[in-house]
Amino acid sequence: MSSVFIANARVVDPYNRLDDIRNVYIENGKIKDISKALHSADITINAEGLVVAPGLVDMHVHLRDPGFIEKEDIITGCNAACAGGVTSLLAMPNTNPTVDSPEVVEYIRDKSRNAKAKVYITASITKGLKSLEPCNIEELSKAGAIALSDDGRPVENTKFMAQAMIKAPENHMCVVAHCEDLYLADGGKINEGEVSRKLGIKGIPKSAEDTGTAREIALAAAYNVPIHICHVSTKTSVALIKDAKARSVKVTAETAPHYFSLTEQSLLTKDADFRMNPPLRCDEDVKAIIQGLCDGTLDAIATDHAPHTPQEKSDFEKAPNGSVGMETSLSVALTYLVDKGYLTLSQLIEKMSLNPARILNIPAGTLSIGANADIVIFDPNEIYTVDVNKLHGKSKNTPFKNMTLKGKVKYTLLDGNIVYQSE
């Protein structure tokens, strides 16, 4: 295995409280030295003017494999990941078949062995995501799953959800919750409000997410067990999580880049790439999400990367929910959070790398000596326009298409190997 020397970089590592100009020396896939010292190496990268940080950890990704490989597969999804600086990701279970058996877990593990990112696996809480029969959590854990969720839809049976939350810590797993009351959502397509009324399209009330969030917090408090709340999009859910943390409930939470950068006004274009679930909300919700990131209520930024084909997304009302996001997540966060002064660069890396790694309890999120050399190198000042034809995944359904963003990934290293280099 080759050695790599990264010279003259601004090294940002919140775990070690480091933000300084340093050199990084990598040998045999591990970080050997971060200092001012010079080293000879097989590969030298001059990173003057660039930032070196721990590889991003995206804890909410739909790879669509098995079953929907016309949208994405494990290899192409990881190609998109590394192009966005993501070196570790958590794959969601709403595949076909669902990740509800050791056999499907093994399939994902086998197929991801040669991928350009590390794939961690979420197994489902109930068989087929139907909330009718709980899965065997012990078997799924032994097979290699590290998290549990019925993401794509909530666990309707509260007893099954409670059982999973209790069993998860015993099996060194975490529960990541899609919070939604399906009865309140009632088949809505976009946020219920001004835009849904203007377009004459059935809306999803914010209360659908908020009651789901409240239920999971109540279970975590009642049983004194952890819960992670996925893709937070509303002002009230932020308030519920903040209150729960103040009461020492074991709750963590994530949001996604589109929830701090876009509003429901984008839907007036009737472009289905702006349709996701939870839906884009109002300006007051965007402000609350940003405040939640600033004050620590929201621990992580994840993408909810959800590929769909152009054919599926061609009909605004009939299209499935979801957008791709791994290749643009860092740029959107730099543009809308760091450049606007809401977060420091170190705070952003904490939310996109260190905190997700801690929540999932995986070996990532740090540039400590001896750690895996999973690294992103990016130019925080480069301005570019998002060109869907240059995206590395199979699907192109990004709400950030043709948008001008600031900050671009230049290299991604996985175990010390360069797996992505920008043109």
d(CA 112, CA 411): 21
Distance, first Cα to last Cα, the chain: 24
Q: In this structure, what are the phi and psi dihedrals at residue 3, rounded to the nearest 5 degrees? A: -100, 150
* Sign of the dihedral through C-alpha 291, 407, 77, 118: negative
- Cis ω before 356 (30° cut-off from 0): no
DSSP of 194-241: HHHHHHT--EE-HHHHHHHHHHHHHHHHHHT--EEE-S---HHHHHHH
d(CA 274, CA 401): 10
Alpha carbon 39 to its chain's center: 35
Supply 298's token pair: 């929201």
Q: Which of 213, 311, 218 is nearest to 255 (CA)?
A: 213
Q: Is 283 noted as a catalytic residue in this protein?
A: no
CB 293 within 8 A of CB 301: yes
d(CA 270, CA 67): 28
Residue at token pair 């001004």: 194
Supply 228's token pair: 């992670």
* Identity at 310, one-letter amino acid code: P
DSSP of 226-283: -EEE-S---HHHHHHHHHHHHTT--EEEEE-HHHHH--GGGGGG--GGG--SSPP--H
Q: Catalytic: which of 273, 304, 374, 379?
A: 304
251-255 sheet: strands from edge to edge = 56-61, 86-91, 118-123, 147-148, 174-177, 227-229, 251-255, 300-301
d(CA 104, CA 108): 6
d(CA 134, CA 140): 12
Catalytic sites, residue numbers:
304
